[in-house]
Amino acid sequence: MLDLRLIRENPRLVEDRLSVRGMELNLSDLQELTILINKKDTELSNLQSESKKISKLIGNYYHNQKDSSTIEIEELKKNGDNLKSKISKLEQIKRDLNKKITDQILRLPNFPSEKAPKGKDESQNIEIRKWGNVLKRENLKSHWKLGEELNLFDTKRTAGISKSRFITLIGNGARLERALINFMLDTHQNNGYLELMPPALVNSESLRGSGQLPKFSNESFKCDEDDLWLSPTAEVPLTAFHRGEIIDPKLLPLKYVAYSPCFRREAGSYGKDTKGLIRLHQFNKVEIYWYSHPENSEEAHQKITSDAENILQKLNLPYRVVDICSGDLGFSSSRTFDLEVWLPSSNSYREISSCSNCLDFQARRSLIRTKQDKKSIFLHTLNGSGLAIGRTMAAILENGQQEDGSVKIPDVLIPYFGSSFIKTN
């Protein structure tokens, strides 16, 4: 969430900072609301002060055992009741104003970093570096074709269980998924991350805190009878884990890793990636997450990206790192580095992780602070996929495919998977 004071005192600056996202904003009405609520705050404070004085005078009457039926005390009681009525009405006005202001501010995205490339869309993202040797040869198969031939997953029967864009992993497919999850969790734990296993259902406050609500309500699945949603990413419960807390600066940075199933409607993506493991309504992911002191978050961003890259390098999967431009940034992110893995069948790189520095945007929405010079300040939060399991499996199948139709398992994964190849029966 953006700073309310900044919107009140310098709305033109806010409009300018968000214009690089391609947004045309006029925050005049919102600014007027913030000024009005400030005036109401002052009025309310003055009324409450008067009310306290009258209550004290009435108390003194009784304490000094004076006649409580005198004209003076009756007049004080009448004035006190009038003040309480005004205070009650003013508090309701404030609640209504607060709701209007909050509803509008929660829909404003984070400021893009000044170091993020300026651009309108993904075509203006900038490649930073590449790693690994890409596989290019004739007659390469897609991961879904390999999956069918090796009997790794089933989509047709699964559509009858739920609907399209869900998948059932079978045999070695399920085994490979489990191996990847355990490998990633172990690797990140050895790199200093504390493992959490959060719930898959999260409440609306948790989604608001991470920036999923209200803007992306159509992207998530909601349980109609409860204030609970299927979590779209472990970033949501990991942000909410310390909601409302003041974290001792001596504990920073806090580094968490979490495996979770993720659920997304993928609204607006129909017709795209309809086959295979790339774009499903339910998928598994290992998430890495940092709570950082503001002074160290830029360095933390480089490190969390490196930790996600480490998984790809250990799996020997070619990839590139892309600096996301201002117009393509996620809602909560100030700067994002995407990791894109090579998929030979499409002769292209595909996103497998977004490593984002959200600065104090999520911490402000979730009231997560630390102390500096005896004052409370908002923390910075960072997140990244470490990695998306289905897309990692797709990359292993395509990059590890052999001419005899088998798939070579990355060496580092063999102890988890139990064999060096996936072969046809």
**List of E strands, 117-156:** 126-131, 153-154
Give 347-399 pLDDT, tens digit per residue. 999 999 999 999 999 999 999 999 999 999 999 999 999 999 999 999 999 99
Q: In this structure, which long-range contacts are made by residues 417-425, counting pairs with CB atoms below 8 Å and at least 24 apart in sequence?
A: 417/175, 417/176, 417/179, 418/175, 418/179, 422/150, 422/152, 422/172, 422/176, 423/150, 424/149, 424/150, 425/151
pTM here is: 0.92
Separation between Cα atoms, residue 380 and residue 249, nearest integer Å: 12
Strand partners, 196: 258
CA-nearest of 261, 298, 299 to 280 is 261
* CATH number of this structure's domain 4-105: 1.10.287.40
What pLDDT was estimated at residue 75? 83
Give 111-139 pLDDT, tens digit per residue. 999 999 999 999 999 999 999 999 988 88
From-to residues of CATH 3.30.930.10 in the chain: 122-422
What pLDDT was estimated at residue 272? 66
The mean pLDDT value for 220-237 works out to 95
What pLDDT was estimated at residue 1? 86
From-to residues of CATH 1.10.287.40 in the chain: 4-105
Superfamily grouping for domain 122-422:
Bira Bifunctional Protein; Domain 2 (3.30.930.10)
CA-nearest of 377, 192, 236 to 293 is 377
High-pLDDT (> 90) share of the chain, % = 87
Give 27-71 pLDDT, tens digit per residue. 999 999 999 999 999 999 999 999 999 888 877 776 676 555 577
Confidence of residue 168 (pLDDT cuts 50, 70, 90): very high
pLDDT, mean over the chain: 94
What pLDDT was estimated at residue 65? 60
Q: In this structure, which long-range contacts are made by residues 161-165, counting pairs with CB atoms below 8 Å and at least 24 apart in sequence?
A: 162/281, 163/281, 164/274, 165/266, 165/274, 165/279, 165/280, 165/281
Least-confidence region, from 126-130, 245-249, 269-273, 368-372: 269-273
CA-nearest of 237, 233, 291 to 262 is 233
For residue 73, pLDDT over 80 is answered with: no
Confidence of residue 24 (pLDDT cuts 50, 70, 90): very high
Give 178-216 pLDDT, tens digit per residue. 999 999 999 999 999 999 999 999 999 999 999 999 988
